[in-house]
Amino acid sequence: MRLATTTIFNIGAQSLQSHISDQAKLQAQLSSMRKILTPADDPIASARILDITQAKSINEQYATNSAAADSFMRLSESTLGQVVSLIHNVQELAVSAGNPALTANEKKMKDAELQGRYQELLALANTTDGQGNYLFSGFKGDTKPFTEAAFGDVNYFGDDGQRLVQISDGRQVPISESGADVFQRIKNGNGSFVTAYSPNNTGSGIISPGEVVDPTKWSSASNPQDFKIKFHWVANPQKPDQPTVTYDIIYNRQNDPATGLADPQYGTSMIDGMPNAITRTTSSPNSITTLRAYVPGGDIELKAQATDPAPVLPDVLPVAGWDFGAKMSIKGMPVGVDPVTKTPIPAPLPASQTEGAADEFSVKASTSVDLFTTIGKLSSALNAYKTDSTGNGQAAFQNQLNTALSDLSNSLSNVVTVRAFLGARINETDSVKDTTEDLKLQYAKTLSGLQDLDYAAAISDFAQNQMVLDAARKSFAQVQDLSLFKYI
Q: How many Å apart are CA 247 and CA 301, to the nearest integer?
A: 12
Q: What is the CA radius of gyration of the chain?
A: 43
206 with 90, same domain?
A: no
Position 22 pLDDT exceeds 70: no
The closest of 330, 335, 306 to 320, measured between CA atoms, is: 306
Q: Where a domain ends, among 322, 337, 366?
A: 366
pTM (2 decimals)? 0.79
Position 488 pLDDT exceeds 70: no
72 with 126, same domain?
A: yes
Q: What tens digit of pLDDT does each residue of 268-288 get?
A: 999 988 886 666 766 666 778
**Structural domain includes residue 303:** yes
CATH number for the domain harbouring residue 412: 1.20.1330.10
**Structural domain includes residue 312:** yes
Q: What is the mean pLDDT of residues 284-313?
A: 87
Q: What is the mean pLDDT of residues 19-24?
A: 63
User: 350 pLDDT band (50/70/90 cuts)?
Assistant: low
300 with 433, same domain?
A: no
359 with 371, same domain?
A: no
**Structural domain includes residue 51:** yes
**Structural domain includes residue 458:** no
The closest of 265, 349, 361 to 313, measured between CA atoms, is: 265
206 with 323, same domain?
A: yes
Neighbours of 392 (CB within 10 A): 21
Q: What tens digit of pLDDT does each residue of 144-187 get?
A: 999 999 999 999 999 998 898 998 888 889 998 999 999 999 99
Position 263 pLDDT exceeds 80: yes
386 with 246, same domain?
A: no
Q: Which domain holds residue 399?
A: 39-188+367-452
Q: Where a domain ends, among 303, 333, 366?
A: 366
210 with 255, same domain?
A: yes
73 with 108, same domain?
A: yes
Q: What tens digit of pLDDT does each residue of 185-221 get?
A: 999 999 999 999 998 898 999 999 999 999 999 999 8
Contact 240, 343 (CB under 8 A): yes
Contact 461, 70 (CB under 8 A): no
Read off the DSSP letter of residue 371.
H
211 with 326, same domain?
A: yes
DSSP 155-166: EE-S-S---EEE
